[in-house]
Amino acid sequence: MSIGENAPTKNAEILQWVEEVAALTTPDKVEWSDGSKEEWSRLAQLCVDGGSAQWLNSEKRPNSLLFRSVPADVARVEGRTYICSEKEADAGPTNNWCDPVEMKKTLTDISKGCMKGRTMYVIPFAMGPMGGPVTQYGIEISDSPYVVINMQIMARVSLDVYTEIEKKGYVKCVHTVGYPLADGQEDVSWPCNEEKYITHFPSENMIWSFGSGYGGNALLGKKCFALRIASTMAKKEGWMAEHMLILRLTNPEGKNYHVAAAFPSACGKTNLAMLQSTVEGWKVECIGDDIAWMKQGPDGRLYAINPEAGFFGVAPGTSMASNPMALKSLDENCIFTNVALTDDGDVWWEDMDGPVPSHLIDWKGNDWTPESGEKAAHPNARFTAPAAQCPVICPDWEKTEGVPIDVFIFGGRRTSIVPLVHEAFDFAHGAYLGATAASEPTAAALDVKAIRRDPYAMLPFCGYDMGDYMQHWLDMGEKLGDKAPKCFYVNWFRKTAEGKWLWPGFGDNSRVLKWMCERVEGTVGAQETAIGMIPNEGDIDLTGLDVSAEDMAELLKVDTAEWKSELDSVKGHLERFGDTCPKGMMDQYEALKARLG
């Protein structure tokens, strides 16, 4: 098979790499993806004809597809995700490590002939607006048409990428479902392999994924590139690759503020990204819902881009009540995976608006009724939607240089102890708040041992040692100096002793964001506590909101005895990283301990 004959690039290194992968995996043919609409439609129809997908009702959900995976392939597989750094210490205690030579041998052995009977697609993609200073480039090789059509939504797939690669280099991404077909063998609707590996080679900027066809295991521009590999690139090059949403707030006078926020799962990240403000005159627009890449600009400030071109969101729980803007982003041109199918050819999932249908086809392809006793959609069912379709997408979301960040927000789900909002004393303190961010399972509300600390919401996604990563945050603060964003910590989930939510959340979170912007401007004050600065009474705009003064006092209460009870947990968390835990973080811990008395 001649690889270079129809290749859209003359780059000898790329051609040789593609040749090597093809020689190892032995596909029946090689296709060079061009990112065109024609290609998307052709491959979508190929998936339908092959039985892996079906078109949804074109009147209800135009140009949209439904896929069903198999129960063995429904989510990221953290236990099979590896960082193959040269030294084990560089992966840190929170990552699975494997020697890169050993892992390559394993992958080479199991990949021999793994694409037989399939087409190998070569997908050139940009992470970020083409030609931008923060944008990076990749090429994903995959034997899955599902991957190609999803990548066309999630990244910027284009032949122009080859030109940019000549200037900036690229990340190599190899993916296979690991399900070869013998001559005459019929394919299955969702090919995958029981054996799975999602591997990262930071020293080579390479990703190699085997055996899964699902989500972030297969769409290698997402967590694999945009966080695990990009975080290692960012540390070396002095920028930031973060698991953060980006949004713009505009005040009644027309001034813009830009916010980047990190939350662990189930803490309302996507809801905040597409927030609808309830404060008169204040507008919120979405720039990104999941990942922020940030680099210092010529003026010394930190500029952020959303490197993705689409949303790959969890469908169950998304509704007009929880996130109307996300739901309206799904009207057309979408891919749905593992949701339920209605009798009129539309999609459905748990917590969707309206009455529960009396009959569905569930995510496994079986008849379903409310009496079935199990979920109709898989809890991790997904939608893939173009970001441009979001009704509140910011007009500057693809600005090549990015937008200047004024505010960093960290948060977690806590039913007690943590106030609605507090502001860090300075950037180093803010980095400490991010490093110790915590959530609790709702069933273990007051059990300190059940608290899960997820530094910067990056625990599963940092491509190197988390202690070194914390130091990088401190280093960035030094580099940015007085141009560094203000840092805040929020908790929308505080409850009364009787279990009642104290804060309405959702759109009313804009009231807290407004206070943050006013703190940036210096137009409102704050009172100092042992843990940080909290709003003065009356400074959070509660106009039209039924929240009592007593509830606000409880929401903003800082109980030093409760905070003292967590000190051992925080210290244990930081000490987990051993010698790489930054002295600056331990200094912040000791300072908090002293302030608590």
Percent of the chain with pLDDT over 70: 98
How many C-beta atoms lie closer than 10 Å to residue 139's C-beta?
A: 23
- Residue 320, classed as helix, strand or coil, is coil
The model's pLDDT over 282-311, given as tens digits with 9 standing for 90+, comes to 999 999 999 999 999 999 999 999 999 999
Question: Residue 269 carries which side chain, given as an amino acid letter?
Answer: K
State residue 266's pLDDT score: 78
**What ranges in 456-498 are assigned the alpha helix state H?**
466-480
The model's pLDDT over 311-327, given as tens digits with 9 standing for 90+, comes to 999 999 999 999 999 99
Residue 331 pLDDT > 60: yes
How does residue 449 score in pLDDT terms, banded at 50, 70 and 90? low
User: Hey, which residues does 210 pair with through a beta bridge?
Assistant: 176, 197
From the candidates 84, 224, 267, 394, which is the catalytic residue?
A: 267
Query: CA-CA distance, 160 to 155, in Å (whole number)?
Result: 13
Residue 53: name the closest of 64, 61, 62 by CA. Answer: 64
SS (H, E, C) 320-383: CCCCHHHHHCCCCCCEEECCEEECCCCEECCCCCCCCCCCEECCCCCEECHHHCCCCCCCCCEE
- Residue 434, classed as helix, strand or coil, is helix
CA-CA distances (angstroms) from residue 514 to 78, 214, 290, 426, 533? 37, 39, 22, 19, 15
Q: Which residue has the higher pLDDT, 333 or 444?
A: 333
79 in the Ramachandran plot: left (φ > 0), alpha (ψ -120 to 50) or beta?
alpha
Please count the residues of the chain: 597
- Residue 188, classed as helix, strand or coil, is coil
DSSP for 499-538, written as a single string: S-BSS--GGGHHHHHHHHHHHHHT-S-EEE-SS-EEEPTT
Residue 156 pLDDT > 50: yes
Residue 41 pLDDT > 80: yes
The model's pLDDT over 458-512, given as tens digits with 9 standing for 90+, comes to 999 999 999 999 999 999 999 999 999 999 999 999 999 898 999 999 999 999 9
Please report, in angstroms and rounded to a whole number, the separation of the first and last CA atoms in the chain: 73
State residue 6's pLDDT score: 86
Task: Give Cα 107 distance to the centre of its chain.
Answer: 27
State residue 267's pLDDT score: 85
SS (H, E, C) 14-38: HHHHHHHHHHHHCCCEEEECCCCHH
Residue 4 pLDDT > 90: no
Question: Does 267 participate in catalysis according to the annotation?
Answer: yes
Query: CA-CA distance, 428 to 532, in Å (whole number)?
Result: 12
Identify whether the C-beta of residue 94 lies closer than 8 Å to the C-beta of residue 462: yes
Residue 408 pLDDT > 80: yes
State residue 445's pLDDT score: 38
Query: CA-CA distance, 176 to 365, in Å (whole number)?
Result: 24
The secondary structure of residue 56, as a DSSP letter, is P
State residue 502's pLDDT score: 97
Contacts of 2 (CB under 8 A, 6+ apart): none
Average pLDDT over residues 576-587: 97
SS (H, E, C) 234-247: HHHHCCEEECCEEE
Strand 310-314: give its sheet, edge to edge. Answer: 53-55, 65-67, 335-337, 382-386, 310-314
Residue 1 pLDDT > 80: no
The model's pLDDT over 93-149, given as tens digits with 9 standing for 90+, comes to 999 999 999 999 999 999 999 999 999 999 999 999 999 999 999 999 999 999 999
Residue 38 pLDDT > 60: yes
52, 57, 60, 62 alpha-carbon torsion, rounded to 10° = 60
Going from the N-terminus, what domains does the chain have, and what CATH number goes with each?
12-53+77-238 (3.40.449.10), 310-389 (2.170.8.10), 406-596 (3.90.228.20)
Residue 263: name the closest of 283, 247, 285 by CA. Answer: 247
Residue 92 pLDDT > 70: yes
Torsions phi, psi for 76 (to 5 deg): -60, 145
Percent of the chain with pLDDT over 90: 95
Residue 444 pLDDT > 80: no
State residue 446's pLDDT score: 45
Find the angle CA(590)-CA(591)-CA(594) to the nearest 5 degrees. Answer: 85
**What ranges in 204-319 are assigned the alpha helix state H?**
215-218, 230-237, 269-273
How does residue 450 score in pLDDT terms, banded at 50, 70 and 90? confident
